[in-house]
Amino acid sequence: MGKYERMTAAPAREILSKAEEILTARLPMEKVAGDRHALELTGGDGTVRFELHPHGLETQVVADTDQLRTSRLDLDVQYFMTLLPYQPGDPLGHREGLPGALPVER
């Protein structure tokens, strides 16, 4: 019911692995399906499916959930989407001043 889209400079495999890592750490979810361009997670809070569409140097990330936009799942999907870098060289998972942002590994 919730649908979110974002363009990012992050590579597809990195997006999918970070989505799985972050969402399964924050919610009781597990991976039920996936390939090089998609990932599906499900659990007690609902189901989310990520689909990636490459466009040159950028990737379009589309996330669909089966919950309302105010659900815990949707809020965490929105949080994850804010962590995706806009430009090459931006670290995945870090935004200065964002509460709960992931630390940058140097």
Residue 10 lies in a domain: yes
Task: Return the residue matching tokens 């919730």.
Answer: 2
pLDDT tens, 51-66? 999 998 899 999 999 9
pLDDT of residue 100: 44
Residue 94 lies in a domain: no
Residue 88 lies in a domain: no
Q: In the structure, what pLDDT confidence band is assigned to residue 94 with cuts at 50, 70 and 90? A: low
pLDDT of residue 90: 78
Residue 53 lies in a domain: yes
State whether residue 96 is helix, strand or coil.
Answer: coil
Mean pLDDT of 8-15: 91
Sheet with 46-55, edge to edge strand ranges: 2-8, 58-65, 46-55, 38-43, 29-35
pLDDT tens, 14-32? 999 999 999 999 999 999 9
Q: Model-level pTM?
A: 0.81
Residue 91 lies in a domain: no
Query: What CATH number should be reported for the domain holding residue 26?
Result: 3.30.310.80
pLDDT of residue 68: 80
Cβ atoms of 22 and 83 closer than 8 Å: yes
Mean pLDDT of 39-45: 94
Range of the domain at 73: 2-82
Mean pLDDT of 70-78: 91
Q: Tell me how far apart the alpha carbons of residues 98 and 74 are, in angstroms, rounded to a whole number.
A: 18
Residue 106 lies in a domain: no
Q: How many domains does the chain have?
A: 1
